[in-house]
Amino acid sequence: MDAISLLKEDHKLVKALLEDLTGSSTRAVKKRTDLLQQIHMNLAAHTTIEEEIFYPAFREAGKKEEEKMYFEALEEHRAAEDLVLPDLMKTDPGTEQFSGRAKVLKELIEHHIEEEETEMFKDAKKLLDKAQLQELGERMQARKLQLLKQLKAA
């Protein structure tokens, strides 16, 4: 699978998990806890393969505009993973506060996905040929499996 297809597949999964989470009620404490754990694990693996493999290749192949996209994407990861998600994980899943924080996380991630899929990926297809995208995808898939295994063991 090429790099862009792999990332889009991850996006679809995380969006579905976030949809389930934000659609759940304050009574669904176990469901919310389980969904949050899945979101955390999948986001951690996804952002790591982007930051370690895809983004550097994209930045290297591009120019000034791609460098701007690169840094913006890193900041969006930081906002979601270092600020919003940790707060959400410390929030009681049986509260409306949890509901609000889950919605903010969902909106932040959906915005990020939208930008990646409409701008960055379109650019990447012009800057990187099929063979490069395929090779990146293979490296990313191998690293993702390794990360998920580590995260599940933790």
pLDDT at site 43: 96
CA dihedral over 135, 138, 143, 147, signed as positive or negative = positive
pLDDT at site 35: 97
Q: Are the C-beta atoms of 84 and 103 separated by less than 8 Å?
A: no
pLDDT at site 86: 96
Half-sphere exposure in the Cβ direction for 72 (13 Å, CA): 14
pLDDT at site 53: 98
pLDDT at site 70: 96
CA–CA separation, 122 vs 13, rounded Å?
Answer: 21
Closest CA to 80 of 47, 51, 54, 56: 47
CA dihedral over 154, 150, 29, 87, signed as positive or negative = positive
- To the question of pTM greater than 0.85 for the whole model, the response is yes
pLDDT at site 61: 97
pLDDT at site 154: 79
pLDDT at site 41: 96
- pLDDT truncated to tens, each residue of the chain (154 aa)? 999 999 999 999 999 999 999 999 999 999 999 999 999 999 999 999 999 999 999 999 999 999 999 999 999 999 999 999 999 999 999 999 999 999 999 999 999 999 999 999 999 999 999 999 999 999 999 999 999 999 998 7
Q: Which long-range contacts (CB under 8 A, 24 or more apart) does 81-84 make?
A: 81/43, 81/44, 81/47, 84/108
Q: Are the C-beta atoms of 34 and 128 separated by less than 8 Å?
A: no
